[in-house]
Amino acid sequence: MSRQIVSCVSVVVVVCLLSGCRPRSPRLPSPAGAVENVGKAPDRKIEKLDFKGAQDAYYYYKAQNNTSSLRKVLERMIQLSTDQQVIRPLLHELADLAYDAGAFEEAVVLYEQYTLMYPGDKDIDYFFFRLVQASERSMPAVERDQTMAKKTLERADAFLARFGDGNRYSSDVRLAREHALLSLISAELGRAAFFLGRYSYTEKKEALLAARSCIKYLNDKLLPRLKNVLGEQEKAAIASVVAPSLFAHSDKSFTNQIAVITKAHDQLASFVAAIIAKEPKLALSHVPW
């Protein structure tokens, strides 16, 4: 993947895209008397450099636009420093470089570390926002483990609870929240579809009960969290198809049970597809139903 440092011009573009002001990564001070410090190439492996050698390498790689090596040098400088005020701009720049390079899982760790180390930062909302964004971009396809989607939902909810709807990043955070929630809903629909398919082959009661449990979990735990997306008519429509499936087990006819549960599944899948159609940014990488 191509990696490059964000220039002054591209920062302006990113600012527009983020619907708010993105704080610039603080630059390291130039040595006294230096007019333009371009550093020098390291004479040994980065992991062997002392702080002064790493600082020279930082300026060298910065001038070369070599962000891959720049990230390694920043990691080395952070490793060598015990002064939190020295580490602050290094960690900020390293997190932004990781994000811009598409290393989102690494960026999650770095932004989270920054929020823990510098909770009083004047731009702390930016770092929590980037944490949500990096977390969202780390989410795998919906048929895979959904731990990161759950984390993204938690982080987005925490952001909105702390900074409110009027924050400069709130609209983007709400979008990330809905994306994570729809990913979880789609994954649960995929599980329900799997169990329904299993029942059609095995006719084992356990598979049918598992499919019903998935619908119940959707109804009780996930769908209510779409409160900002659902209108009253949509809530009523969902209730009308979900409610019968929750009591399907009382019907002695398994044919009737599977028909009711399948209808609930299909209606919910259509509902999710309609939401995604309205907002293309919420499109999921794969839908297993």
State the pLDDT at residue 282. 64
Please report which confidence band the pLDDT of residue 24 belongs to, taking 50, 70 and 90 as the band edges. Answer: low
Tokens of 48: 């062997």
pLDDT at 20 over 70: no
pLDDT at 43 over 80: no
Tokens of 135: 């977390």
State the pLDDT at residue 15. 31
List C-alpha distances in Å: 171 to 19, 79, 133, 269. 8, 36, 12, 25
Calpha distance 77→92 (Å, rounded): 13
Q: Which tens digit of pLDDT belongs to each residue from 74-95?
A: 999 999 999 999 999 999 999 9
Q: Give exposure, 175-189, as e/b (b: 16+ Cβ within 10 Å).
A: bbbbbbbbbbbbbbb
State the pLDDT at residue 37. 58
State the pLDDT at residue 111. 98
